[in-house]
């Protein structure tokens, strides 16, 4: 009985122990499952963290790309930022951007930009080739890059050597084996780059992973889109930049860009002591073409000149259209002999290339060389323009070579100016008399002893038509300019320029409307403003067509500045005002005082000198006023 109870208890304990073991076993299994679930969750967290870090790097790289694009960097810099960002920040082993060049069947792909991770540095040694020379024709349909471009979808590859199929690069078996071993289990991806519905090229990357998930492929697509956007922005920027320096009608450079290039070329030429040649040309008889055939025909003729310039220009030449029918071309490194050959070739091309609906056109051409005809680029422009106008005066359809400055330059300029004013009917005189004056001026040689008198008489005649109160002052004014300038030891070259400026000023006065010029009574503020501005307006609008404006404008543009700084615009004062301007202004004031006006009688010379003396140091340079007093 006792043993029976004992064994029953033992059995009961055994059952309880068994139950406990079962519970422990179940708990152990449950705990193991928890650990496994936790481990799986941790792995998922790690994967998501990796993806998040990769996404953050991608975003930062995209921000860097955007920053580069928004800074108007050239396309090369943007593409470099993209390829470098993919290897340095996103962990890709390489990133290569292939660009399509050429058209149709002759098109080909070349490497535009590339970046390689440090771990792939041996790849270049294995290839033993400069990848910048890589090229593949679009005709090579088996090449994986061409396939990507043709299919316009992402292509995966396991063989890096597929890139070289049909290219100008050939790999040996040993090279292929080494590359295969190096890139084993590495995914190689090709993504098309589309620009304005046209293929720009292909982005190729090597991933450190054997397979790419959808998220990563989406990111790669995003980077391809950034390349497309970068190309769009760069293309727009280049278009705007090109429009800013290009003439809309002809496609040649415009005057602004030409002037910048001319200044740069002059600096280079003077620094290296190497000449360059400047050619300017003017389409002959544009007005006749417009009148007879219409302005569209005139545009066609202008385009014909532009095409001749393009056809004859070297790659380093700078052909430009100044506006209207005027053109110019800079020939870097060309001396005067080469310049004359180039100018004659250009003239012949224009003459021998008929324009549809018009027929033959011609041009008058001037040519000159820096360091040969002048060491000053602005003076060279003047001399070449004078040569061009001389070609027009001598019968057109010819070239004339610039002549270095001499005492007759200003006389030629004056003759050209007077003929231009008469031919363009800018001076309102009897047509028959105008024709007689034109003939007389054209037959006047700059070496004629009486050429000065002829010029002064014609200018006086012009002035007296509009200012009947002013008689025969031009010659006296010129004599005083010479005396004052020589008293302060001005060069003969500058004296000649002063003479021309004085003539321009007198003529610009007569171009004012008669209601202002001969007004009996006080002027309005608007009329005063017109009088103040008219010398520069006249120089630019009337003289520019004959190439005599630049050195004259320099003397006239400060005409209304006063010695004490109270003039207009009040930027210069005292000795800051150019001496030539100071001489011309004071002399012109003296002759204005001794001339009769509609609103007053002429002052005596004594009163005129007194008024000048009162204004010395205020309006006029006191040194110039004192010289004028001594001369009178």
CATH number of domain containing 396: 3.30.70.270
Token output for 631: 């001369």
Do 205 and 284 belong together in one domain? no
Question: Does 494 lie in the same domain as 461?
Answer: yes
pLDDT at 227 over 80: no
Residue 63 has pLDDT above 70, yes or no: no
* Mean pLDDT along residues 444-448: 73
Give yes or no: residues 511 and 583 share one domain: yes
- Domain holding 588: CATH number? 1.10.3210.10
Domain match, 602 and 478 both: yes
Q: What is the pLDDT of residues 512-534, one digit of tens each?
A: 666 665 566 676 777 666 666 66
Q: pLDDT of 553-572, one tens digit each?
A: 777 777 788 888 888 777 88
Based on the domain organization, do 510 and 459 belong to the same domain?
A: yes
Can you tell me the distance from the alpha carbon of 423 to that of 438, in angstroms, rounded to the nearest whole number?
8
Structural domain including 250 reads 246-404
Q: Residue 136 is part of a domain; what is its CATH number?
A: 3.30.450.40
- Cα separation, 98 vs 448, whole angstroms: 71
Q: What percent of the chain has pLDDT over 90?
A: 25
pLDDT at position 279 is 97
How many Å apart are CA 22 and CA 28, to the nearest integer?
A: 10
User: Which domain-ending residue is among 226, 243, 260?
Assistant: 243
Do 530 and 385 lie in one domain? The reply is no
User: Is 541 in the active site?
Assistant: no
Catalytic annotation, pick one of 216, 325, 382, 467? 325
pLDDT band (50, 70, 90) for residue 344: very high
Instruction: Provide CB contacts within 8 A for 116, sequence distance 6+.
Output: 87, 93, 94, 123, 124
DSSP codes joined into one string, 95-158: EEEEEEESSGGG-EEEEEEEEE-GGGHHHHHHHTS-GGG-EEETT-TTSHHHHHHHHTS-EEES
Give pLDDT, residue 459: 78
Of 65, 60, 59, the closest CA to residue 233 belongs to: 65
pLDDT tens-digit series, residues 127-163: 877 777 888 999 999 899 999 988 888 888 878 888 8
Q: What is the pLDDT of residue 70?
A: 53
Residue 122, pLDDT > 60, answer yes
The overall average pLDDT reported for the chain is 81
Task: Quote the CA–CA distance of 580 and 92 in Å, as a whole number.
Answer: 70
Helix (H) or strand (E) holding 94: strand 94-101
Better-scored residue on pLDDT, 630 or 430: 630
Q: Does residue 519 form part of some domain? A: yes
d(CA 379, CA 394) in angstroms, rounded, equals 22
Comparing 451 with 287, which gets the higher pLDDT? 287
Predicted confidence (pLDDT) per residue in 345-354, tens digit: 999 999 999 9
pLDDT tens across 93-104, in order?
988 999 898 888
C-alpha distances (whole Å) from 271 to each of 132, 376, 576 are 35, 13, 29
Cβ-in-10-Å burial (0-12, 13-18, 19+) of 408 comes to middle
Omega of the bond leading into 569 within 30 degrees of 0 (cis)? yes
Rounded to an integer, the average pLDDT of 427-439 is 80
Percent of the chain with pLDDT over 70: 79
Q: Residue 164 has what pLDDT? A: 87
Last residue of a domain, one of 220, 243, 266: 243
- More reliable by pLDDT, 549 or 311: 311
Per-residue pLDDT tens digits for 265-303: 999 999 999 999 999 999 999 989 999 999 999 999 999
- Reading the block at residue 510, the tokens are 């007569």
Give buried/exposed letters for 359-390 (b at 16+ CB in 10 A, else e). Answer: eebbbbbbbbbbbbbbeebebbbbbbbbbbbb
Q: What is the pLDDT of residues 244-267, one digit of tens each?
A: 889 989 999 999 899 999 999 999
Residue-wise pLDDT for 475-497, tens only, equals 788 888 888 888 888 877 777 77
């Amino acid at each position: 009985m006792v043993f029976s109870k004992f064994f029953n208890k033992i059995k009961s304990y055994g059952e309880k122990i068994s139950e406990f073991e079962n519970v422990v076993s179940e708990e152990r299994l449950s705990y193991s499952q928890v650990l496994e679930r936790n481990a799986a969750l941790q792995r998922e967290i790690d994967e998501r963290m990796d993806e998040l870090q990769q996404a953050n790097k991608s975003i930062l790289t995209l921000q860097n790309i955007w920053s580069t694009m928004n800074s108007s960097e050239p396309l090369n810099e943007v593409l470099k930022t993209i390829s470098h960002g993919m290897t340095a920040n996103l962990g890709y082993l390489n990133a290569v951007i292939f660009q399509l060049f050429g058209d149709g069947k002759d098109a080909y792909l070349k490497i535009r930009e590339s970046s390689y991770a440090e771990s792939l540095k041996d790849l270049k040694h294995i290839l033993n080739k400069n990848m910048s020379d890589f090229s593949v024709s679009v005709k090579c349909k088996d090449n994986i890059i061409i396939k990507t471009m043709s299919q316009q979808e992402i292509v995966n590859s396991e063989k890096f050597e597929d890139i070289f199929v049909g290219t100008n690069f050939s790999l040996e078996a040993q090279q292929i084996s080494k590359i295969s071993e190096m890139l084993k289990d590495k995914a190689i991806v090709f993504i098309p780059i589309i620009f304005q519905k046209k293929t720009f090229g292909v982005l190729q990357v090597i991933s450190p992973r054997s397979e790419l998930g959808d998220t990563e492929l989406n990111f790669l697509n995003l980077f391809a889109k950034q390349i497309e956007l970068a190309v769009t922005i760069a293309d727009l920027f280049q278009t705007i930049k090109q429009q800013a320096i290009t003439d809309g009608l002809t496609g040649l450079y415009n005057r602004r860009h030409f002037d910048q290039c001319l200044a740069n070329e002059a600096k280079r030429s003077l620094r290296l002591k190497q000449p360059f040649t400047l050619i300017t040309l003017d389409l002959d008889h544009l007005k006749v073409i417009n009148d007879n055939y219409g302005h569209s025909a005139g545009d066609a003729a202008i385009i014909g000149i532009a095409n001749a310039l393009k056809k004859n220009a070297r790659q380093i030449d700078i052909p430009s259209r100044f506006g209207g029918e005027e053109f110019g071309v800079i020939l870097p490194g060309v001396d005067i002999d080469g310049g004359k050959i180039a100018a004659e070739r250009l003239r012949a091309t224009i003459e021998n290339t008929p324009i549809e609906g018009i027929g033959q056109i011609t041009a008058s051409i001037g040519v000159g060389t820096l360091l040969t005809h002048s060491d000053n680029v602005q003076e060279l422009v003047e001399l070449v323009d004078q040569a061009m106008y001389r070609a027009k005066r001598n019968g057109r359809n010819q070239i004339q070579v610039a002549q270095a400055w001499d005492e007759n330059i200003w006389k030629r300029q004056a003759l050209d100016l007077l003929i231009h004013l008469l031919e363009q009917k800018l001076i309102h005189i009897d047509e028959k008399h105008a024709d007689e004056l034109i003939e007389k001026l054209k037959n006047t040689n700059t070496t004629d002893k009486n050429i000065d008198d002829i010029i002064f008489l014609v200018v006086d005649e012009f002035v007296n038509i509009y200012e009947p109160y002013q008689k025969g002052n031009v010659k006296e004014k010129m004599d005083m300019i010479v005396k004052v300038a020589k008293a302060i030891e001005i060069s003969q070259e500058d004296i000649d320029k002063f003479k021309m400026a004085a003539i321009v000023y007198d003529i610009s006065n007569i171009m004012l409307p008669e209601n202002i010029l001969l007004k009996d009574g006080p002027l309005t503020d608007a009329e005063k403003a017109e009088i103040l501005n008219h010398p520069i307006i006249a120089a630019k609008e009337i003289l520019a067509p004959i190439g005599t404006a630049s050195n004259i404008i320099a003397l006239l543009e400060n005409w209304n500045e006063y010695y004490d700084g109270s003039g207009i615009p009040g930027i210069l004062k005292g000795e800051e005002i150019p001496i030539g301007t100071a001489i011309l202004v004071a002399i012109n004031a003296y002759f204005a005082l001794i001339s009769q006006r509609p609103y007053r009688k002429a002052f005596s010379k004594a009163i005129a000198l007194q008024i000048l003396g009162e204004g010395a140091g205020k309006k006029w340079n006191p040194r110039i006023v004192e010289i004028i007093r001594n001369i009178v």
